[in-house]
Amino acid sequence: MNWRSLLPLLHKEMVLEWRQRYALSGIVLYVVSMVFVVYVASVKPTPPMWNTLFWLIVLFASINAVVKSFVRESGARQLYYYQLADPAALVLAKVLYNALLLLVLSGLASVAFALVADSPVQRWPLFLGTLALGSASFSIAFTFISAIAAKADHGATLVAILSFPVVLPMLLTLLRLSAASFAPEGMPLDTWADVRNLLAVDAILIALVFVLFPYIWRD
C-alpha cells in the first residue's frame, strides 16, 4: 500500500467537508436539536437514562455524519481517485477522517448534553477514552457499510439497516464503559476487559476493511 497518498487524501476529505459546510453544520445542528428534544421531553434523566440517551444521540449523529462518505462525490470521480491513489489508502483516509469527525461530534454532544442535563460523569479520562473508542469503532463499521450501501440504489436507508445490528454488540460494551465512568473516584473498576474486547474487534474489522474493500469498489 502506498502510505504517502494517505495524508493528501485526508486533507482532501477535510477540504471537501469545509467547502460543503452545510453538511457539517447540518450534523452539528442535528446534535444540538436532539439534545434540545431530550431537554424538552425529560425533566431530569437518571444516570442510566442519561447514558442511554447520550449514546442514542451519538449513534444517530454518527450514522448521519458517515453515510455521505461514498455518495458525496459522483461515481465517475471516485473511479478517478481509485486510479490516482491506492484504494486501500483511500478507504483508510475516509475511516480516519470519519473517526476524527465522530470524536468531535461526540465531544460536542457530551458538552451540549451536560449543559441541559447534569452530567453524571465522574471519571473524565475514562469517559473521553470511551468516546474515542466509540468513534473509532463506529467509524470503521459505518464507513465500510456505507461503501457497500453506496452501490445499491437507495443507499441511505440501507446503511442503518445493515449497520445497526453490526454495531449493537459494540454499543453494549460502550454503554458499560461509559456507565463505569459514572462511578466515583477511588472505587476500584475493571474496565480493561471491555477496552481490550473493543480494541480487538476494531483491529479485526480494520484488517477486514483492507482485505474486502477491493471487492467493493470495482464495478
Partner 1 sequence: MWWKITSVVLLVYTIIAGFLVPLKSGIERVEPQAAQTGEQTTIRFFGYNTFFARPSDEPLRVWLYYNDQYALYAKTVRPLNDTILEATFSLPVNLPDGKPFVLLNALVDHPTAGASLLPAALTLRQADTLSAPLDPAWTQTPVEQLHVQKGFSFPYQNILYETIRNTYFHVPMWFVLLFLFAASVWYSVKYLRRPEPDLDRYAAAYAEVGILFGLLGLVSGMVWANYTWGRPWSNDIKQLMTAVALLVYMAYFILRGSFSDPEKSARLAAVYNIFAFASLIPLLYILPRMFDSLHPGATGNPAFGTQDLDNTMRAVFYPAIIGWTLLGFWIADLRTRYQRLHDRAMGVD
Interacting residue ranges for partner 1, rule: CB under 8 A: 141, 144-145, 148-149, 151-154, 158, 161-162, 164-170, 172-173, 176, 193-194, 197, 200-201, 204-205, 208, 212, 215-216, 219
Tell me how far, at minimum, the Cβ of 51 lies from partner 1, in Å.
Answer: 15
CB 24, min distance to partner 1, A: 27
Q: Of the two residues 84 and 200, which places its CB atom closer to partner 1 in the complex?
A: 200
Q: Using CA of residue 59, residue 60, residue 61, residue 66, what is the dihedral sign?
A: positive
Closest CA to 29 of 19, 17, 21, 18: 21
- Which is nearer to partner 1, 6 or 170 (by Cβ)? 170
CB 146 to partner 1: min, Å: 12
For partner 1, the closer of residues 113 and 217 by Cβ is 217
Rounded least distance, CB 15 to partner 1, Å: 29
Residues found in the chain: 219
CB 152, min distance to partner 1, A: 4
Q: Which of 64, 127, 74 is nearest to 98 (CA)?
A: 64
SS3 content of the chain, % helix, strand, coil (to 5): 80, 0, 20
Alpha-carbon span 12 to 63, nearest angstrom: 21
Helix axes 47-66, 21-41, angle to 10 degrees: 160
